[in-house]
Structure 1
Amino acid sequence: MHTDQMTVASVQPQHKNNKLLRDIFYEETAAEYHQAVEKARAAVEDFLLNTRQPFTGVRPPVMQEAVYGVDLSRPLAGYDELLAEVNELYVRHATAFHLPQYIAHLNCPVVIPALAAEVIISAINSSQDTYDQSAGGTFIERRLIDWTAHEIGYTKADGVFTGGGSQSNLMGLLLARDHFAMQLLGHNIKLDGLPAQASRFRIFVSDKAHFSNDKNASLLGLGEQAIVRVKTDSRFRMDAAALKEALDWQLGLGNIPIAVVATAGTTDFGNIDPLQSIAALAAEYQVWMHVDAAYGCGLLLSAKYRHLLNGIEQADSVTIDYHKSFFQPISSSAFLVKDKATLQLVRHHADYLNPAEQDYEELPAQINKSITQSTRRFDALKLWCTLRLMGKQKLGIYTDMMIDTAAGTAALLQQDPEFELLSSSDLGVLVFRFRPVAIDTDLSALNLRIKQSLFFDGTYILASTKVEGNFYLKFTILNPLTTLSHIREILAAVKAKGYSLL
């Protein structure tokens, strides 16, 4: 052996049975991995089998003191000690979204095939930015984007998985801004920054649209002043006639409409804006139409209620949240465009990652479609496993069950003189309040106390909102396990709590 070879060999670490490296995931630590995953699985099963109410009622100061009391400089002895600590600090107090007594936010129970996928995703740890980091993952993601596009009704579409609905909505407004500037002003914002006219750009949303529109307008350099809120109808959906008036009003002021955001499933009411009427106005005024279907995308699965999304296929872009309405673990979302060519507006090149001279038909790179994520999890595998094992039809039945339960819940609220329901729902969100008969009281204060008291009892978790300055309770029915029997139980608890607080 040559001297230089001997020197190199002498400094190579001896990996086999090396305790220093026993925590790294590689071929010598399969047994360690198995032990860790089995103990974690046991902790999850214990949570599943022994959790009987959605929350323990632990107060924030108690939780903060427990977490900040941990000495992070002292490693624990083993997985038993570790998982005991995690159970005390997190699992035992975690909100149990799978229980029907949780009826608050847009958190769905998750399906088991997606949980199996999570094990694979986390361990193999592929990154979806380039083919040489993901291989089959690249095409699984692309196939699922194509599948979703087909369900929407697109024929020349493209898209990318994202971290969530707010990020997808940001992409929709970014493309609206840049496409308008390029097509109608001949200005390339990516290269040259905002044009002089940008201060007059206007984006139209309903007054019940998601707050991310305001944040995104700010991030895009347009300011929240670019957002024009359009009045809603009696069911809190964007009023198409009011949209036309708003467009004409802004044009009359010398401002420049560039986009309208329609909502398919509002956070507060679960209702769907009139997509076909909005699409017609978007075409007439030559503005980009984006549909925020983060919640309502579940209707794509339903044979019974799919018609509620008619018109979505005319949108220029769509937000999809699989982790809201496809029963996927967080995070699993997507952004889709009707015309794949528009995604060129967000492409940037780096010589070390996706060089400009590379043939992307031969060697694809999903990073060319993303605006804020380079390293990105293979979240698409969760949806792939779900569809391959369960199929669209079963997921659609879950969607139908929830919508039917929401309709039944609305009927119960309308029939009871001690409840006031503001609107029926296309999906599953119902805004209401407890209104005791013949008792004069501050209804906003009473309903706020009902919500807070039930929460810290740990028995039932409801959401809330304000409408015209008044406080209301809110049900979000996003669990196919929830039945009208559960609803009756929760409504009885609301009443009992309300009377006890009077």
Structure 2
Amino acid sequence: MNNNQMPAGDILGASLPHISGNFGNIFHSDNYDHYRSAVKETLDLVGTFLHRNDKPFSGIEAKEMKGMVQQIDLNQKLSSYQELLQEVDTIYVKHATAFHLPQYVAHLNCPIVIPALAGEILVSAINSSQDTYDQSAGGTFMERKLIDWTAEQLGYSAETSDGVFTAGGSQSNLMGLVMMRDCFSQKRYNHNIKLDGLPQEAGRFRIFVSDKSHFSNLKNASIMGLGEKCIVKVPTDERFCMDISLLKKYIKREEQLGNIPIGIVATAGTTDFGNVDPLEDIANIAEQYNIWMHVDAAYGCALLLSEKYRHLLNGIERADSVTIDYHKSFFQPISSSAFIVKNKRELRILKHHADYLNPAEMDEEEIPAQINKSIIQSTRRFDALKLWFTLRMMGKEQLSEYTDTVIDLTKDVASMINENADFELLSDTDLSVLVFRYIRTDIEDLNALNQYIKMKLFYSGEVLVASTKVDGNFYLKFTFLNPITTTEDVHQILNKIKAHGEDFSTAN
């Protein structure tokens, strides 16, 4: 080594500025030991959460939980991470819902995979913002690569499609409806809503959804200034999928009333029943009327991973746009979602320029800006990195195995319920949701019976199931997203339901 040269480590150390003053909590090379220690102690609490919990919920009542949190004085700082973690354990971790346990069969909360959690460390620590290239660099192209990959799974061309990661399915659905509205106005009336606001005809715009579609359609229509009246709910068939014959009738009826169909939202995996609307038939009708087709596949996107069940999404490749929720069906931590559009030129309708972010003169090919595709987020986390970690460590095939396992389990459980005279199954499912109720011939009010069962399970914390109402009647609901769950686990859950159901008369 030349006498004038320094070892590589010394060169690196010499090139870094050192922090002076009371800034030991800033994420910086000088404070790495502090960061590492804090993460290690927090990781120990995560381990406690995993090993301590043998049921999905503590059963604590909201009133008690509120009182525990309210007594904390946020103006008084704590003296150590040990003290902090003890406090957080008391008011949060001990009572946090354990989605990873097989006794959790309630909502669309998936267990998460370890590679994604590893990615989360980098996402939070480096804290890139995905709105512009100068804040993200490689993250920009990694996100775009994952959007292209997802588009290919849908059957789109990566060359002509595009999209962006979002905060969740409701936001993606909002983007779908905005695109539907604005593209229709541009093509039909040469009217630019972004510049000129809603056209006079907007009060007569109509969007068709099934009566089992996600509630975000109504909220989004309100946000867009169209009002909930623009959402036309089409009745469903015996499997709770959009009735195609009625869709045609409803479109004709609205036209006869002087209203203007602008698009259809198909649901690929309803929240309550997990069934997929007839996508090919809906695509035919959308093409016939030359209107936009958006598919809400926030839940059903799991089928993209499966060779065994992928056919249930046939026709999705004909949609103009699709909602994807990786944090429902790709085993990702919240949040991780995307909005995908078939024709990337359509996304230009969302673009706004800001001189400090994406000035109009900037060459998008040379310096890409993801903010051009985002509707309501400027600063945006690099959530795509978690999916990148997952695919690179696990591959599509292992994710597919998880998905197939969950769907196969659901089919087995459906048979178990159908064969048990104590239960009534309302419908089969394309995915992994079963709506059912416990029945007793000596009890007239089955709604009260099943409400009682749900609350007893909830406050015992031993099992968490969901519920819904169909035609005014109260039903229990299983949502399976955990490939670890077995038929024996579900058998035990059904026995607990039955045991509480047998106690109903005594308790009432």
Aligning the two structures, in what range does the TM-score lie when normalised by the shorter sequence?
Answer: over 0.9
Aligned partners of 1:329, 1:202: CA distance in 2, in Å?
35
**TM-aligned CA deviation for residue 16 of structure 1:** 5.0
Aligned partners of 2:135, 2:185: CA distance in 1, in Å?
35
Q: Which residue of 2 aligns with 1:120?
A: 122
Q: Which residue of 2 aligns with 1:264?
A: 268
Of 140, 148, 151, which residue of structure 1 is paired with 2:150? 148
Of 278, 297, 300, which residue of structure 2 is paired with 1:296? 300
Please state whether the residue corresponding to 2:209 is helix, strand or coil: strand
Of 385, 390, 403, which residue of structure 1 is paired with 2:389? 385
Q: How does 1:278-357 map to 2 (within 5 A)?
A: 278-357=282-361
Q: Which residue of 1 aligns with 2:454?
A: 451
Aligned partners of 1:443, 1:356: CA distance in 2, in Å?
63
Q: Which residue of 2 aligns with 1:104?
A: 106
What is the letter of the counterpart of residue 341 of structure 2? Answer: V
Aligned partners of 2:390, 2:353: CA distance in 1, in Å?
34
Of 212, 215, 228, which residue of structure 1 is paired with 2:216? 212
Q: 1:31 to 1:411 in 2, by over 3 A?
A: same
Aligned partners of 2:394, 2:126: CA distance in 1, in Å?
24
**TM-aligned CA deviation for residue 286 of structure 1:** 1.1
What is the letter of the counterpart of residue 71 of structure 1? Answer: D
Of 168, 171, 177, which residue of structure 1 is paired with 2:175? 171
Aligned partners of 1:187, 1:16: CA distance in 2, in Å?
57
Q: Which residue of 2 aligns with 1:136?
A: 138
CA RMSD for the aligned pairs? 1.0
1:470 aligns with 2:479: no
What is the letter of the counterpart of residue 393 of structure 1? Answer: E
Q: How does 1:15-164 map to 2 (within 5 A)?
A: 18=20, 20-155=22-157, 156-164=160-168
**TM-aligned CA deviation for residue 17 of structure 1:** 6.9
**What whole-Å deviation, never above 9, does each CA across 1:10-50 have from its counterpart, x for those lacking one?**
xxxxx857462011101110000000000011000111111
**What whole-Å deviation, never above 9, does each CA across 1:117-166 have from its counterpart, x for those lacking one?**
00010000000000000000000000000000000000111000000000
Gapped regions of structure 1 (runs ≥ 5): 1-14
Aligned partners of 1:216, 1:17: CA distance in 2, in Å?
47
Aligned partners of 1:441, 1:380: CA distance in 2, in Å?
51
Of 428, 431, 435, which residue of structure 1 is paired with 2:432? 428
1:409 aligns with 2:413: yes
Aligned partners of 1:359, 1:66: CA distance in 2, in Å?
54
Please state whether the residue corresponding to 2:293 is helix, strand or coil: strand
**What whole-Å deviation, never above 9, does each CA across 1:32-80 have from its counterpart, x for those lacking one?**
0000000011000111111100000011111101101001010000100
> How many percent identity over aligned positions?
61
Q: Which residue of 2 aligns with 1:11?
A: none
Aligned residue pairs, count: 488
Gapped regions of structure 2 (runs ≥ 5): 1-16
**TM-aligned CA deviation for residue 287 of structure 1:** 1.1
Aligned partners of 1:191, 1:55: CA distance in 2, in Å?
50
Please state whether the residue corresponding to 1:303 is helix, strand or coil: coil
Aligned partners of 2:408, 2:19: CA distance in 1, in Å?
58
Of 216, 240, 259, which residue of structure 2 is paired with 1:236? 240
Please state whether the residue corresponding to 2:79 is helix, strand or coil: coil
Of 435, 441, 445, which residue of structure 2 is paired with 1:442? 445
**TM-aligned CA deviation for residue 441 of structure 1:** 2.5
Aligned partners of 1:432, 1:402: CA distance in 2, in Å?
18
Q: Which residue of 1 aligns with 2:230?
A: 226
Aligned partners of 1:311, 1:131: CA distance in 2, in Å?
35
**What whole-Å deviation, never above 9, does each CA across 1:277-324 have from its counterpart, x for those lacking one?**
000000001110000000000100001000000000000000000000
**What whole-Å deviation, never above 9, does each CA across 1:213-255 have from its counterpart, x for those lacking one?**
0000000000000000001110000011111111111011110
Aligned partners of 1:100, 1:327: CA distance in 2, in Å?
15
Aligned partners of 1:235, 1:295: CA distance in 2, in Å?
17
Q: 1:17 to 1:312 in 2, by over 3 A?
A: closer
Moved more, 412-421 or 206-215: 412-421
**What whole-Å deviation, never above 9, does each CA across 1:195-216 have from its counterpart, x for those lacking one?**
0000000000000000000000
Aligned partners of 1:29, 1:62: CA distance in 2, in Å?
38
Q: 1:261 to 1:18 in 2, by over 3 A?
A: same
Please state whether the residue corresponding to 1:117 is helix, strand or coil: helix
**TM-aligned CA deviation for residue 116 of structure 1:** 0.2
**TM-aligned CA deviation for residue 440 of structure 1:** 2.8
Please state whether the residue corresponding to 1:20 is helix, strand or coil: coil
1:495 aligns with 2:505: no
Aligned partners of 2:471, 2:335: CA distance in 1, in Å?
33
Q: Which residue of 1 aligns with 2:8?
A: none
What is the letter of the counterpart of residue 221 of structure 2? Answer: A
Please state whether the residue corresponding to 1:132 is helix, strand or coil: helix
Aligned partners of 1:260, 1:29: CA distance in 2, in Å?
54
Q: Which residue of 1 aligns with 2:258?
A: 254
Aligned partners of 1:140, 1:441: CA distance in 2, in Å?
58
**TM-aligned CA deviation for residue 417 of structure 1:** 1.2
Aligned partners of 1:78, 1:24: CA distance in 2, in Å?
16
Aligned partners of 2:347, 2:51: CA distance in 1, in Å?
46
Aligned partners of 1:441, 1:140: CA distance in 2, in Å?
58
Aligned partners of 2:368, 2:338: CA distance in 1, in Å?
18
Please state whether the residue corresponding to 1:21 is helix, strand or coil: coil
Please state whether the residue corresponding to 2:22 is helix, strand or coil: helix
